[in-house]
Amino acid sequence: MGKNNEQVRLDRLLANSGYGSRSDVRSLVRSRLVTVNGVPVERFDIHINIAEDKVVVDGRPLKVSVHVYYMMNKPSGYVCSSKGGAHPTVFDLMEDADRGKRLGGELGIVGRLDLDTEGLLILTTDGNLNHRLTSPKHHVPRTYFVQLENALSEAEQKQYSEAVAAGVEMPPEDHEPGAVCRGGELEWEGKDTCRLTIYEGLYHEVKRIFAALGNRVIFLKRIRMNRLTLDPALAPGEYRELSEQELSALTLTNAIL
Q: Which is nearer to ligand URA, 9 or 138 (CB)?
A: 138
Q: Which is nearer to ligand URA, 107 or 109 (CB)?
A: 109
Catalytic residue among 53, 98, 114, 116: 114
Half-sphere exposure of 257 (CA within 13 A, CB side): 7
- In angstroms, what is the minimal distance from the CB of 99 to ligand URA? 21
Cα dihedral 141/233/14/6 (nearest 10): 20
Is residue 103 within 8 A of residue 13, CB to CB? The reply is yes
Q: Which is nearer to ligand URA, 64 or 219 (CB)?
A: 219
Tell how far CA 249 is from the center of its chain.
Answer: 12
Q: Which is nearer to ligand URA, 99 or 207 (CB)?
A: 207
- In angstroms, what is the minimal distance from the CB of 8 to ligand URA? 36
Is residue 25 within 8 A of residue 44, CB to CB? The reply is yes
For 195, residues 6+ apart whose C-beta sits below 8 A from its C-beta are 143, 144, 145, 146, 186, 187, 189, 223
H or E element, residue 132: helix 127-134
Residues within the interface to ligand URA (CB under 6 A): 113-114, 117, 204-207, 220
- In angstroms, what is the minimal distance from the CB of 220 to ligand URA? 6
Q: Which is nearer to ligand URA, 111 or 127 (CB)?
A: 111
Q: Which is nearer to ligand URA, 19 or 210 (CB)?
A: 210
Of 111, 116, 75, 102, which is closest to residue 239 (Cα–Cα)? 75
Half-sphere exposure of 57 (CA within 13 A, CB side): 20
- In angstroms, what is the minimal distance from the CB of 238 to ligand URA? 19
Of 82, 136, 46, 98, which is closest to residue 239 (Cα–Cα)? 98
Tell how far CA 90 is from the center of its chain.
Answer: 12
The vertex-202 CA angle with 198 and 204, nearest 5°, equals: 95
- In angstroms, what is the minimal distance from the CB of 241 to ligand URA? 23
For 31, residues 6+ apart whose C-beta sits below 8 A from its C-beta are none
- In angstroms, what is the minimal distance from the CB of 129 to ligand URA? 19
Q: Active-site residue 126, yes or no? A: no
> Which residues carry out catalysis?
114
